[in-house]
């Protein structure tokens, strides 16, 4: 532990929000390890400075790292979920990023302290007899604990792991022990991933999990067209948003106070309710992290997040108010 460490966020507690069974508390953790695990990828090991137990998590969960600017970045937990004392995340240096990954790579060091929110899980592993996992690049991170879980449960599973080249692919050493279950496909050696041959015939007893860059997720959507609608589960780190279904203002009634807020085009629901004095915890503000999840009591949301699946969207009982809007004139939210 180092007193000279950088404190990225003061210890404190943010208000809890309804959500996916996860804490939104912002804690201060210490960087107890930093290691290069592939080209442009560093792994951070985080622990409570006083050695306290960390909140439990499940495969697919992520945490928020709070940066000195106050912005946050989400990183999948990729360590041992049964280790109650440490979290591990891996961070890819994003050449065109907004500076978060560069900070982690160039400035953050062992002994520093960081604000950490979560963990939160928008990408849970559901029970299944068989799993097919497909990872592209740093998308391996949420799948690592899923592979471990599938192994513990004795499920049948295989992993297809693509990357630009072998040296850029993190955790190959850890995956090697799984032998032929893992198909490592560096693009400069084997070309583009052959998704149809990896997936095989649609199988109702198989769940397919994919994490990686947008083009890979899009290709998986196409490759799984003939699969049952809930077979494919993906996680996007970068939001993909269509235009809102309506361009006119709409009203949001805040059920807990009875106040009504008008949301103008170009303003998010999150911003509009914030301006009315109702603070909702947020993080990514892109519809990818799940922090701002809000219960819908009436009205039809225009879902613009990258989290909910089709069935969850159709249920219409929750929305992510940083990006999602109203499909009609009025929403009633549990705020």
CB 270, min distance to ligand FES, A: 7
**Sheet architecture: strand order including 259-263:** 259-263, 250-254, 330-333, 293-298, 318-320
What are the backbone angles phi and psi of residue 233, rounded to the nearest 5°? -125, 130
Region of residue 103 (left: phi > 0; alpha: psi -120 to 50; beta: else): alpha
Closer residue to ligand FES in complex, CB, 158/304: 304
Q: Shortest CA distance to 329 belongs to which of 300, 309, 307, 304?
A: 300
Task: Supply the minimum distance, in Å, between the C-beta of residue 198 and ligand FES.
Answer: 31
Q: Which is nearer to ligand FES, 206 or 294 (CB)?
A: 294
Three-state DSSP at 297 gives: strand
Instruction: Give the CA distances from residue 259 to residues 48, 204, 218, 270, 325, in Å, rounded to whole numbers and listed in that order.
Output: 41, 47, 41, 15, 18
Number of C-beta neighbours around residue 146 at 10 A: 24
Find the shortest distance in angstroms from Cβ 305 to ligand FES: 6
DSSP secondary structure string for all residues of 309-335? -HHHHHH-SEEETTT-EESSSEEEE--
Nearer to ligand FES, 122 or 128 (CB): 122
* Residue number with CB closer to ligand FES (30 or 305): 305
Considering the complex, what minimum distance in angstroms separates the CB of residue 315 from ligand FES?
A: 17
35: Cβ–Cβ under 8 A, 6 or more apart, which residues?
A: 42, 43
By C-beta, is 45 or 291 nearer to ligand FES? 291
Indicate the length of the chain as a whole number: 335
Tell me how far, at minimum, the Cβ of 284 lies from ligand FES, in Å.
4
Nearer to ligand FES, 128 or 306 (CB): 306
Question: What residue ranges bind ligand FES (CB under 6 A)?
Answer: 282-285, 287-292, 305, 320, 322
Nearest distance in Å: CB 332, ligand FES:
19
Q: How far is the CB of 321 from ligand FES (least distance, A)?
A: 7
Closest CA to 164 of 199, 197, 213: 213
Provide, rounded to whole angstroms, the least separation between the CB of residue 286 and ligand FES. Answer: 6
CB within 8 Å of 193: residues ≥ 6 apart: 134, 136, 160, 162, 185, 216, 219
Query: Which of 90, 93, 70 minimizes the C-alpha distance to 79?
Result: 90
**Which residues, in sequence order, are bridge partners of residue 254?**
259, 333
Nearer to ligand FES, 9 or 148 (CB): 9
Distance CA 275, CA 282 (A): 14
190: how many CB neighbours lie within 10 A of its CB?
A: 12
Q: Please, which residue, 234 or 283, has the CB nearer to ligand FES?
A: 283
Q: Which is nearer to ligand FES, 128 or 286 (CB)?
A: 286
Longest dimension (CA), the chain: 61
Least distance CB 49 / ligand FES (angstroms): 27
């Amino acid at each position: 532990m180092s007193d000279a460490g950088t404190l990225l966020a003061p210890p404190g507690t943010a208000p809890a929000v309804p959500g996916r069974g996860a804490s939104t508390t912002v804690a201060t953790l210490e960087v107890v390890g930093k290691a290069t695990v592939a080209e442009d990828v560093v792994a951070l090991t985080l622990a409570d400075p006083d050695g306290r137990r960390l909140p439990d998590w499940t495969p697919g969960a992520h945490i928020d790292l709070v940066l000195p600017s106050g912005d946050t970045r989400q990183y999948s937990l990729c360590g041992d979920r049964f280790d109650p004392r440490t979290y591990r995340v891996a961070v890819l240096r994003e050449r065109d990023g907004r500076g978060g990954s560069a900070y982690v790579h160039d400035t953050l060091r062992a002994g520093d302290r960081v604000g950490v929110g979560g963990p939160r899980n928008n990408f849970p592993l559901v029970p299944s007899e068989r799993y097919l996992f497909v990872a592209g690049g740093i998308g391996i991170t949420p799948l690592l604990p899923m592979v471990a879980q599938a192994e513990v449960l004795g499920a049948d599973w295989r992993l297809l792991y693509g990357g630009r080249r072998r040296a850029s692919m993190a955790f190959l050493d850890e995956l090697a022990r799984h032998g032929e279950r893992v198909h490592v496909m560096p693009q400069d050696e084997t070309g583009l991933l052959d998704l149809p041959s990896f997936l095989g015939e649609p199988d109702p007893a198989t769940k397919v999990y994919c994490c990686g860059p947008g083009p890979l997720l899009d290709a998986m959507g196409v490759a799984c067209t003939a699969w049952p609608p809930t077979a494919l589960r993906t996680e996007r780190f970068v939001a993909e948003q269509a235009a809102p279904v309506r361009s006119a203002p709409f009203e949001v009634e805040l059920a807990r106070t009875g106040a009504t807020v008008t949301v103008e085009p170009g303003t998010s629901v999150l911003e509009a309710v914030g301006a009315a004095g109702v603070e909702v915890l947020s993080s990514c503000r892109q519809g990818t992290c799940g922090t701002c999840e809000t219960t819908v009591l009436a009205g039809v949301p225009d879902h613009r997040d990258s989290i909910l699946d089709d069935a969850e969207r159709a249920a219409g009982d929750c929305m992510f108010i940083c990006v999602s809007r109203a499909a009609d004139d009025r929403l009633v939210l549990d705020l």
